[in-house]
Structure 1
Amino acid sequence: MRAATAPVYGGPDVVRVSTLPDPVPGPHDLLVRNRASTLAAAGVAARAGSPWFARLAFGLRRPRSPVLGGEVAGEVVAVGEEVTRFAVGDRVTALTRMGAGAHAELVLVPDASAVVPTPDALTDVDAAVLAAGPLTALPFLTDHATVRPGTRVLVVGASGCVGTAAVQVAAHAGAHVTAVTGPRGLDLARALGAAEVVDRTVRDVTAPDADDAGRPRYDVVFDVAGASSYRRCRHLLADDGVYLTTVPSAGILWRTLWTARRAHGRRGRVAFTGLRPTDLQRATLHDALARGAAGTLRAVVDRAYPLDRVADAHRHVEHEHKAGTVVVTLG
């Protein structure tokens, strides 16, 4: 089989397409012919080994797994003798362990992992996209914040993989969503349900101003790209508001610990959704695909690259401002 491999940390040029032995399923495994996966900021960090905390997850000196990629969307081509939930020919969507192993034409998926049937209404590309951003947005906006009709939500970084999902999840829950994005994402954010949009190249929404006392306060500030900080956004929060971010730092780790048991008052939260228990990941994946099939969650594709151009996909994610999710197609 062919796979995108990155045996060492470095720039996009370390990624190459290699021929590897076909994996052989064990008694409890599915062998999936992968059709689509995605590449987002976490995948770039896994390839680059930067920022520093990426190496804690992916390997200190070199990538623990040279094959990157976290989502699998394709067709089962073989099953182990103990597998009962799936059969050859089934379309499935799955998450790989620690975001590794999916940028390959054939992927082993344990039957007990986060793997679910792909709804007929979704293409494999749709399923891969819905298995990416929503898997972060949904837990943040349901487990770490209470989003309901009337909730005021500010999404910083609203046009990327996680941001497009966050805008949709919050808007569908009835929240009043303000989306902060670059010029390319303004119309997209409106189309996804944002009530207000802010061009980050024109206005820094976190900067205090003379009329700060009269500015709106947000029940949730969701910084999906680590572009700000709790300290910079604190004045934007309502009295019981919560600041959420996907990017760890010393400040937000301390703030998370400091406010973890607080029932009231402004709070900060960082979470590592990839470390959630498998049953919760599977439930969230099922929820995301069901929302996609029902039309309440749209799979937003920025650009699709075939496997042979996976290095170009890394360059695009690393250097361009996306409007949606970058897809890697296989087969």
Structure 2
Amino acid sequence: MRAAVRTEYGGPEVVDLVDLPEPTPGPGEILVRVHATTVNRTDCAYRSGHPWINKAVCGWPRPRVQVLGSEYAGVVAALGRGVEQYAVGDRVLGFVEGRAGAHAELVAVPVGSLVAPVPEGIEMAEAAAGMEGAHYAHACLRVTGIGRGDRALVHGATGGIGSAAVQLMRAEGVEVTAVCDRLPPDRPDLLTEIGAAHVVVQGRERVPASVGSGFDVVLDATGHLSFREALPLLRPGGTYVSSELGRGAQNLVLAAVGPLARAAGRRHARFPFPHADADLAAHLAGLMASGAYRPVVDRTYAFDDLREAYAYVDSGRKVGNVVVVMPPRS
């Protein structure tokens, strides 16, 4: 099978398409023939080794896990021993953080991981973008306990995580103010279309005055808004949550003292350690099926142009998700 690998950390140029032996599904696994995958921030971090924690996951000083790719949609090609939830030919989508391997024609995944049937009416290219950003966004909702009637600010709302967070919050009855640095020229109403009650496009100021204040939750979806910058935006007792570790892993430190600050009724930080299992995958797929959540797709690339897809994501200009379509089988 063809697969995208890198044997050292670096830019898009370290990615090579090579032929590898086909994987075999182990007990409790399914083998998925990938129809579409994505290039996302998780993939870019695994490829580059930055921030440092990714080298702890992928190997030091060189990558131990060489096949890239964390998100996929495809068709079940084979079943491992003991698998009863799926049959050969079923359409599935999922996310394989920590073991990667989705930038390949075939990937073996545990049925208990973040994998679910593709909802009816959803094309593979859209389904492929359904899990990565949404499962991080869901972790932010879970750790903050935000719910109906609350007010939230999503900073970096046009990214993969941000655009998913806007939709997941809207589905929970949250009033969302979405902040972004630009809107796509061909979709100037994107954020209102996906559920934001208010949209603010920032200029030189990271947090324009027009954003307002008194939010129950401020979600930094891109790692560009610090806890200190978020403080004036939060109500007393409000929660800051970020999808990134922050400079010097400060968001982990702030989250460690967060329970004390929260008990005292003060503004505090939480860190969204995500969990990725089949129950969450079924929940997100159900939201997709109902129309409450649909991943935003920016561009689509052919698998042969994977380096170009990585370069585009590295540029920081993407809106939502970047999809990569595998070639049809010969």
| Corresponding residue of 1:157 | 156
| Corresponding residue of 2:95 | 95
CA deviation map 1:8-44 (0-9, x unaligned)? 1011111111111111223433111011121111211
Give the Cα–Cα distance (whole angstroms) in 1 for the partners of residues 137 and 112 of structure 2: 23
**Other structure's SS at 1:31 match:** strand
Give the Cα–Cα distance (whole angstroms) in 2 for the partners of residues 260 and 126 of structure 1: 38
| Corresponding residue of 2:217 | 220
Provide TM-score, normalisation by structure 1: 0.90
| Corresponding residue of 1:84 | 84
**Other structure's SS at 2:129 match:** helix
| Corresponding residue of 2:194 | 192
| Corresponding residue of 2:24 | 24
Q: Which sections of structure 2, spanning at least 5 residues, go unmatched?
A: none
Query: Which residue identity lines up with residue 146 of structure 1 in the other structure?
Result: G
| Corresponding residue of 1:106 | 106
Q: CA deviation at 1:56?
A: 2.0
| Corresponding residue of 1:38 | 38
CA deviation map 1:57-101 (0-9, x unaligned)? 222212221111112211111112422221111112232241511
Give me the CA root mean square deviation: 2.0
Q: Which sections of structure 1, spanning at least 5 residues, go unmatched?
A: none
| Corresponding residue of 2:205 | 203
Give the Cα–Cα distance (whole angstroms) in 1 for the partners of residues 111 and 278 of structure 2: 11
Judge conservation of contact 2:139–2:273 (CA < 8 Å) in 1. Answer: no
Give the Cα–Cα distance (whole angstroms) in 2 for the partners of residues 172 and 84 of structure 1: 32
Query: Which residue identity lines up with residue 304 of structure 2 in the other structure?
Result: D
Judge conservation of contact 1:188–1:323 (CA < 8 Å) in 2. Answer: no
Provide TM-score, normalisation by structure 2: 0.91
Identity of aligned residues (%): 39
**Other structure's SS at 2:285 match:** helix
Residue from 301, 315, 331 that aligns with 2:311: 315
Judge conservation of contact 1:38–1:132 (CA < 8 Å) in 2. Answer: no
Give the Cα–Cα distance (whole angstroms) in 2 for the partners of residues 27 and 140 of structure 1: 32
Query: Which residue identity lines up with residue 181 of structure 2 in the other structure?
Result: G
| Corresponding residue of 1:166 | 165
Judge conservation of contact 2:139–2:272 (CA < 8 Å) in 1. Answer: no
**Other structure's SS at 1:184 match:** coil
* Runs of 4+ with >4 A deviation: none
Give the Cα–Cα distance (whole angstroms) in 1 for the partners of residues 222 and 151 of structure 2: 19
Describe how 1:156-305 pairs up with structure 2 within 5 A: 156-185=155-184, 187-205=189-207, 215-249=212-246, 250-260=249-259, 262-263=262-263, 264-273=265-274, 276=275, 281-305=277-301
CA deviation map 1:251-295 (0-9, x unaligned)? 21111000135343211022232xx2x5xx222211111111111
**Other structure's SS at 1:86 match:** coil
**Other structure's SS at 1:183 match:** coil
Describe how 1:106-125 pairs up with structure 2 within 5 A: 106-125=106-125
Could you say if the C-alpha distance between residues 27 and 169 of structure 1 is closer, same or farther in structure 2, counting changes exceeding 3 Å? closer
CA deviation map 1:225-244 (0-9, x unaligned)? 11011112112111111000
Give the Cα–Cα distance (whole angstroms) in 2 for the partners of residues 112 and 168 of structure 1: 25
Judge conservation of contact 1:43–1:99 (CA < 8 Å) in 2. Answer: no
Judge conservation of contact 1:34–1:73 (CA < 8 Å) in 2. Answer: yes
**Other structure's SS at 2:73 match:** strand
Judge conservation of contact 1:182–1:321 (CA < 8 Å) in 2. Answer: no
Query: Which residue identity lines up with residue 180 of structure 1 in the other structure?
Result: V
More divergent stretch after superposition (91-100 vs 282-291):
91-100
Could you say if the C-alpha distance between residues 114 and 329 of structure 1 is closer, same or farther in structure 2, counting changes exceeding 3 Å? same
| Corresponding residue of 2:302 | 306
Judge conservation of contact 2:42–2:70 (CA < 8 Å) in 1. Answer: no
